[in-house]
Amino acid sequence: MKMINRRQALGALASAVVVAPVAARIVHTTEADPADRVRIDAEALADSLKALHGGSWSIQISHETGFVAVSKDFA
């Protein structure tokens, strides 16, 4: 019988927290403009991180440089 350690259990829970909201939004945005999809997915990630870690999360997107960042807002 394979034992599950705490790291594996927490990893599975964190994955479930992130996947569920993202999957729900994908169903509603299958015909969205690609730029809108990037924004929607970044917002979904920020929402999931807020649910997991609390606090507010900042989103920066630059289509010119190909850069997307979601980070905790410490201000």
Condensed to tens digits (0 to 9), the pLDDT of residues 7-56 reads 666 666 555 555 555 555 555 555 678 999 999 999 999 999 999 999 99
> At residue 2, does pLDDT exceed 70?
no
Domain ranges of the chain: 6-72
CA-CA distance, 32 to 16, in Å (whole number)? Answer: 24
pLDDT number for residue 74: 84
CA-CA distance, 6 to 44, in Å (whole number)? Answer: 26
* Maximal CA-CA distance, the chain: 51
- Helices 34-53 and 6-28, interaxial angle, to 10°? 140
CB 52 within 8 A of CB 14: yes
Q: Specify the pTM.
A: 0.58
Q: Which of 2-6, 10-14, 31-35, 66-70 has the lowest mean pLDDT?
A: 10-14
Question: To which H or E segment does residue 60 belong?
Answer: strand 57-62
